[in-house]
Amino acid sequence: DDIPNKTIRVGENIAGKVAADLNPILSNNLAEVEGLFGEHGMAMNSIVCVPILYKGRLLGTLAIFDRLEIISGEIQPFDESDVGLITAVASQVALALENSRLFEEARKLSEEKEIRIKGLSLLMEITNIMRSTLDLEEILYIILTSVTMGEGLGFNRACLFLADDAGKYLTGKMAVGPRTAA
């Protein structure tokens, strides 16, 4: 079954119409409704489909099919109380989706902040080391090796070209790192 990978346009089929109108759809006769899942050959009689909204922003839709009577196992028609219940479930889904998005965003920001802190710490170390010498070759070597060393800024190779006095040519001055990418 390829439902998890199915893509539909907003406005198409039941889920797409709910997404377009932001209004729930309840049908107890799917045979009469242009359905979302009919092409998959699933035997379904009824549906409640509701929008998943967070602060008025559409995140998706939630479709529930065929309410079964617990004791008999017989299919029961949906009613407006089912729409309310499923809308409440969709609200919880929206909160979970938004929390997940916010957590991922915070995790990425934390990683970026950690990388920036590492970079700034490394720059401070380079600055402190550079104060120990006035030899240009040694300073350039310190800089290039610092940005390419294991836990440095994560770069594999570095090379430095210096401009001539007229600013018309660049001449390779120094390069560090392995000869191959591996």
- Choice between 120 and 52, residue whose per-residue pLDDT is larger: 52
Q: Stretch 139-163: mean pLDDT, rounded?
A: 78
- Listed in sequence order, the residues at least 6 apart from 60 whose beta carbon sits closer than 8 Å to its beta carbon are 19, 51, 52, 93, 97
- Tens-digit pLDDT profile for residues 9-24: 898 888 899 999 999 9
The Cα–Cα gap between 116 and 152 comes to: 11
The Cα–Cα gap between 46 and 78 comes to: 7
**What percent of the chain is modeled with pLDDT above 90?**
25
- Tens-digit pLDDT profile for residues 128-137: 777 777 788 8
pLDDT band at 43 (very low <50, low <70, confident <90, very high): low
* pTM for the structure as a whole: 0.58
Q: Which two tokens stand for residue 122?
A: 């490394």
The Cα–Cα gap between 115 and 106 comes to: 14
The Cα–Cα gap between 52 and 18 comes to: 10
Instruction: Report yes or no: 110 and 117 within 8 Å, Cβ to Cβ.
Output: no
